[in-house]
Amino acid sequence: MRTVLLTIGPTHAGKTTFARQLAQRLSSSLVIDQDLQARFLLEHYPDLVPTEGPNQIKHDLTGWLIEQAITSSVETIILCNANTSRIGRKQLLDPFSRSTFRSILVWFDLPEATFLNRLTHSKRDGREIRGDSSYYDIYQRQRIESPVTGEADKIVRLRSTEDVDTFLDHVTNPTLDAPFDAVSTD
């Protein structure tokens, strides 16, 4: 069975770092990172990117990349973005057939102090941000709808950086035949 893994969490939760680390550890994986897409679009097609409201071109690009990934032979597809709303998460997961893909939500439910520390010490340049907002502004606006049973096959709640490391070590343990089957949820 193939796996689609979707990250949930505010800016500076560590979602992109996590996705990259997971992809490096898994032999057949692909990261679809909406921040990377936003940077690309703003750098190469700034006149096409809306200045306000939803970034529909980014969402359309994500949809196209998902279609391509589903038809590929990639075993694990990692959808990396804030994914704050249940409706948005459902729209991202709908194209993945439950008979072919197991779905896992990885919820970065870290302490607020962790986010604020990361925001304060961030080295990110913000090229994916539209308009005059800062990462702190974005963090203040983001409201995460907690995942609920039934949204995915599994929900993994990460409450600390140690939880992140433990999850990465667990799913990439070579002694497990099906590492995602044994993932613990909270």
CATH number of the domain encompassing residue 50: 3.40.50.300
- pLDDT tens profile 117-160: 777 776 776 666 666 676 666 666 667 788 999 999 999 999 99
Contacts of 131 (CB under 8 A, 6+ apart): 51, 52
CA distances from residue 74 to 27, 31, 68, 101, 131 in whole angstroms, order as listed:
9, 10, 10, 11, 35
Task: Give strand pairing partners of 31.
Answer: 78
Q: Quote the pLDDT of residue 130.
A: 61
- pLDDT tens profile 5-18: 999 988 778 899 99
Whole-prediction pTM = 0.84
Q: Quote the pLDDT of residue 136.
A: 60
Q: Quote the pLDDT of residue 63.
A: 94
What range defines the domain where residue 105 resides?
2-182
Closest-CA residue to 128 (of 11, 6, 40): 40
**For residues 29 and 78, is the Cβ–Cβ distance under 8 A?**
yes
Mean pLDDT of 72-76: 95
3-class state of residue 172 by DSSP: coil
Q: How many domains does the chain have?
A: 1
Q: Please state the three-class secondary structure of 56-88 as a single string.
A: HHHHHHHHHHHHHHHHCCCCEEEEECCCCCHHH
**Euclidean distance between CA atoms 84 and 147, whole angstroms:** 9
Closest-CA residue to 129 (of 139, 121, 144): 139
